[in-house]
Amino acid sequence: MKSLELYIHIPFCVRKCAYCDFLSVPAGRNQQKTYFHALEQEIQHFPSNLSGHIDTGRLIFDKEDYIVTSVFFGGGTPSIVPGEWIIRLLDLMRMQFHFDRNAEISIECNPGTADEEKLRTYRSAGVNRLSLGLQSADNRELELLGRIHTWEDFLRTFETAEEAGFSNINVDLMSALPGQTAASWETTLRKVLELRPQHISAYSLIIEEGTPFFEVYGEDARVREAGGIPQLLPSEDEEREMYRMTEVLLSGAGMHRYEISNYALPGYECRHNTGYWNGTEYAGFGLGASSLLEMSERKKGDENKKVRVRMKNTDEMQTYLMHAGDSDGCVYKDCDMLSYQDQMEEFMFLGLRMMRGISETDFQKRFGRTVEEVYSGVIRRQMEQGLLQRKGERILLTDKGTDLSNMVMADFLF
C-alpha cells in the first residue's frame, strides 16, 4: 500500500501573535464546536467530496490503496480546544482510513494551553509526538512577539509532557528577532538543550506583509534585504552568526541537521515533514488545508490516467462551514493538476531542503529522464559557484548553498 499523510488544521488561538500570518483567529467555544462538526463532515465524506471537476475530466481517488503513516494536528493552536475533541477526530480518521500501527501522530501545543489531563488524554489515545511553540527563552522577547506564555510556562508544559509519557518532543525556536543579540539567542539555545528535547525546529523571523510586525519593521526588513544596516532588526551578519551558532551548539549536543531548519537526535526526525519534502501524498482537512494526491483521471473513450493533483480548501470560514461535507467540491478554493514540469521542480526544490539532497536515481525512475537532461545548466552553474555538490549519486547543498538556499532553489523554477 502507498503511504498517505493526514493534516488537520485547527485555526483557533488565544490571541494572534504580532508576527503571525498563518490562517488563525481567536474564537469562542460555540464557533469552535461548529468548526469541529464541519471537520468531522469533511473527514467522513472523504474522498467523495473530491468529486469536483477539472476541465479535462473527472478525478477519482481510491483511499483503499493507501495506509496512513503520519497525522499532524496544526494551527493555530490545536491544544486550545478540549482534548476529547482531538481524540474524536483521531478515532474518526482511524475508522475512515487504514492506519499503520506505528504511525507518527503529532500535535502542536502552545505552553499554557495543555495541562496534565489534556496531555495524558492525547497520549492515551495514541498521540506520540508533541511540537511545543516556545520561540524564545527570553521573556522580554516573548512579550514583544505577542506570545501568551513565559519561559516558566514553557518549562512547566515541557515537564508535564514528559510526565504524561511523551518521549518525542519538538521545540520551535525563532531567531533574528527585533533587538535580539547573538548572546541572547545563545542563551535560548543552551536553556533548551539542557532539557534534551528530541527535536528542535529553528527558524529565522520573516517579516510578513499584513502583520503588525510589518507595520513596525517592514522598512527595516527591506533595508536589510537590500544590504543596508537595519535600525531595529539584527543585521545580516548578526543573523548569519545566529544561524551558524545554531548548528554548532545543536550538533555539539548530538542533534543532527537533517533539513535546513530542523535538527533531531538520531531516529527522531519528523516523519510527517520529511514526507512533504520527499513528495509523499497527503490529504489536508480544515480551513485552508492543502492536499497533494495521485488520482485516476477518467475520460470518455480513454483508459484511466494517473495524475497528481494539488487542492486547497477555502480560507473563508463561512464557506467552509457550509460546504465541508458537500460532494460537489465546493469546499475547494483551488484544484490543479501538476504537469511533469511542476513535479520535477518540486522534486528538486523540496528535496534540496534535506541535507542529504536529492537522488539522481530516484529522479530518473520517477520522470524517465536524468537530472542532467533537465537541469544540467543550473547544476553546472551552481557547482561552479560552490552552492551545490555531488556525493555519489546524490546532489546536495554545500555550506555556502545552505546559507543561500532560497536563491539556489529559485533557480530550479522555470
Q: What is the pLDDT of residue 52?
A: 53
Q: Which of 4, 11, 5 is nearest to 288 (CA)?
A: 11
Q: What is the pLDDT of residue 257?
A: 97
DSSP assigned state of 211: S
3-state SS assignment for residue 278:
helix
Express each pLDDT in 298-330 by its tens digit: 666 566 678 898 989 999 999 999 888 776 656
Euclidean distance between CA atoms 233 and 235, whole angstroms: 6
Neighbour-count burial of 302, counting CB atoms closer than 10 A to its CB (0-12 exposed, 13-18 middle, 19+ buried): exposed
Instruction: Report yes or no: 27 and 12 within 8 Å, Cβ to Cβ.
Output: yes
Q: What is the pLDDT of residue 57?
A: 52
Euclidean distance between CA atoms 246 and 269, whole angstroms: 17
Name the pLDDT band for 53 (thresholds 50, 70, 90).
very low
Instruction: Report yes or no: 114 and 86 within 8 Å, Cβ to Cβ.
Output: no
> Do β-strands 99-109 and 129-135 pair in parallel, antiparallel, or remain unpaired?
parallel
Express each pLDDT in 180-207 by its tens digit: 999 999 999 999 999 999 999 999 999 9
> How high is the mean pLDDT of the chain?
92
Q: What is the pLDDT of residue 289?
A: 95
Euclidean distance between CA atoms 278 and 23, whole angstroms: 25
55 pLDDT higher than 50: no
Euclidean distance between CA atoms 231 and 8, whole angstroms: 39
Express each pLDDT in 327-386 by its tens digit: 665 677 778 889 999 999 999 999 999 999 999 999 999 999 999 999 999 999 999 999
Q: What are phi and psi of 29, to 5 degrees?
A: -65, -35
pTM value is 0.94
DSSP assignments along 354-400, one per residue: BTT-EEHHHHHHHHSS-HHHHHHHHHHHHHHTTSEEEETTEEEE-HH
Express each pLDDT in 141-151 by its tens digit: 999 999 999 99
Q: What is the pLDDT of residue 56?
A: 45
Ramachandran region of residue 162, left (φ > 0), alpha (ψ -120 to 50) or beta? alpha
